[in-house]
Amino acid sequence: MHEASITEALLEAAVEEMERAGAGKILCLEVTVGSLSGVNVEALRFAFEMLSPGTPAQGAELRIVETRASCSCRACGEESPVDDPFSPCPACGSLDVEVRGGEELFLSSLEVDEGPEDQGPRRRE
Amino acid sequence: MKIVSAKKILAGNDKIAQANRELFDKEGIFVLNLLGSPGAGKTSLLEALLPRLGKSLPVAVIEGDLATSQDAERVAALEVPVVQVNTEGACHLDAAMVASAAEALDLPRGGILFIENVGNLVCPAGFKLGEHLRLVVLSVTEGDDKVAKYPPMFRKTQAVALNKVDLAGALDFDEAKVEADLKRLLPGGRLFRVSARTGAGVEELESWLREERACRFGNASG
């Protein structure tokens, strides 16, 4: 259940971005998770539900975008998306392939509120 | 307001790992992250390696476990400096734990520091500690399907020590399968056949560690 540590790190990263934008609340987080990152998406959702209350991301929507690894075939030259690091080339069946990527794990974007109006113009990146 | 971030979630850990690495490089310490399931024989392999390496190199160990200092006691019995980290439930070591352990440790300047991770074939894979290399200990009693079933761990290591090979005859363990799976996941990775119990293959592993250390930090000072 390393998803708990990952969620803590995610919340930390999101709050940092929120503060940099001068906002006070996170409405939505979009996270990119590769199919070979070793992160279980259900466990990540569960950990987010457990850990987000009491943070500026309380009640925020967690959107998870799952990315796939890429299988590049030395036999036919095709580049195909795969989920299995042992996958043969989906195009020609050759085992002479290199599976790359699928290890993505990042906060792609977040939506934050504009904050109280009386604070004047906000600093943006 | 939408903010586009593209921030790596584990960037905080990566940053501390980088600082650890800079400290280790500055002190000329070659650092190995030792991974594997509970019971794979990580500590036993250390018990086989440390007396051999310790003859000509300073060595030290950081032991990671959920609870107890049993592993640290085993290492301390070899008169090797050791610090036990208890993660109190966490399933992996992170870079900050290693940073505090390193502060408490008599650092093996010019030698080798082993970080024995929490026994777990899943969670520690994503957490860099500041190590130069990883070594996964996989024992034949775990079965020959583990490389295929736990790809993140085996994709991120540089070498695998297949332990308990002295028991292989009593099991239906297909070594060729492990070799083939590793070849596809980890082209160029090293596979060592060892038995921490009988000492078989430990010399090859020791030579590899010495070479990897020397190619980064030069020959031993004495």
Q: Is B89 left (phi over 0), alpha (psi -120 to 50) or beta?
A: left
Q: Do B127 and A2 touch (CB under 8 A)?
A: yes
pLDDT tens track, chain A, 125 positions: 689 999 999 999 999 999 999 999 999 999 999 999 989 999 999 999 999 999 999 999 999 999 999 999 999 999 999 988 888 999 999 989 999 899 999 999 999 997 654 444 555 54
Closest CA–CA distance from residue B77 to any residue of chain A (Å): 32
pLDDT of residue B222: 43
Give me the half-sphere count of Cα atoms (radius 13 Å) on the Cβ side of residue B94.
Answer: 19
Domain count along chain A: 1
Residue A87 resides in a domain: no
Distance between CA atoms of B173 and A115, rounded to whole angstroms?
Answer: 61
Per-residue three-class SS string for chain A: CCHHHHHHHHHHHHHHHHHHCCCCCEEEEEEEEECCCCCCHHHHHHHHHHHCCCCCCCCCEEEEEEECEEEEECCCCCEEEECCCCCCCCCCCCCCEEEECCCCEEEEEEEECCCCHHHCCCCCC
Residue A41 resides in a domain: yes
Chain B contacts of A98, Cβ < 8 Å? 187
Q: Is position A73 within any domain?
A: no
Residues of chain B with pLDDT under 70: 220-222
Task: Report chain A residues whose CB lies below 8 A from the CB of B35.
Answer: none
User: A–B: how many Cβ contacts below 8 A?
Assistant: 95
Q: Which domain holds residue A30?
A: 3-67+101-113
- Which positions in chain B touch A38 (Cβ < 8 Å)? 122-123, 125-126, 152-153
Q: Looking at residue B32, what is its pLDDT?
A: 98
Cβ-defined contact of A6 to B10 (cutoff 8 Å): yes
CATH label of the domain that carries residue A38: 3.30.2320.50
Q: What percent of chain B has pLDDT over 70?
A: 99
CA distance B155 to B185: 6
Instruction: Write out the H or E segment, with its range, that includes residue B23.
Output: helix B11-26
**pLDDT tens-digit readout, B109-119:** 999 999 999 99
Which residue is closest to A115 within chain B, CA to CA?
A: B1
Asked if residue A124 is part of any domain, the answer here is no
Strand order in the sheet with A26-34: A61-67, A26-34, A105-112, B2-8
Query: A120 lies in a domain?
Result: no
Contacts of B10 in chain A (CB under 8 A): 6, 9, 105
| CB spacing of B9 vs A13 below 8 angstroms | yes
- Please give the domain boundaries of chain B with CATH numbers for all domains: 11-214 (3.40.50.300)
A123 part of a folded domain: no
Answer yes or no: is A38 within a domain: yes
Report the half-sphere exposure of A25 (CA within 13 A, side-chain side).
11
Report the candidate in B72, B18, B23 with the shortest Cα–Cα distance to residue B50: B72
Judge: A37–B126 Cβ closer than 8 Å, yes or no: yes
Q: Considering chain B, what is the average pLDDT of its residues?
A: 95
Across the interface, do B1 and A111 touch by the CB < 8 Å criterion? yes
Chain-chain contact of A106 with B9 (C-beta, under 8 angstroms)? yes
The reply to whether residue A38 touches residue B127, judged by beta carbons under 8 angstroms, is no
